[in-house]
Amino acid sequence: MQSLILYCENHSEIDQAWLYLSAVQESEQCGWLKDRFGVSWEIVPIEMERMMEHETAEQMKRLKEAFKSYEKIIS
């Protein structure tokens, strides 16, 4: 599956991305959305990316489990 990643600095940027890009609510899960052209986007808080660079395997597992139930990730 092809997708684009958009890194956001804060909650306001996440909200803006969601407002402008999301067009298919059924596809929203764990920070993923689809736009009106069917393009998949992963909206990622930059802080989460930084955390994932330095986590242990156990911490990564817990982080991924925690985010599975989210639609829009809140930073």
pLDDT tens-digit readout, 19-34: 999 998 777 877 889 9
Regarding predicted confidence, which is higher, 15 or 54?
Answer: 15
DSSP 8-class letter at 5: E
Regarding predicted confidence, which is higher, 70 or 35?
Answer: 35
pLDDT-derived band at 70 (thresholds 50, 70, 90) equals low
In the predicted model, what is the mean pLDDT of the chain? 82
What span, in angstroms and rounded, lies between the C-alpha atoms of 17 and 33? Answer: 10
Closest CA to 58 of 48, 68, 66: 66
Q: Which residues contact 20 (CB under 8 A, 6 or more apart)?
A: none
Look-up of token digits 């940027």: 13
Tokens (6 digits) for 7: 């890194």
- Tell me what pLDDT residue 37 has: 92
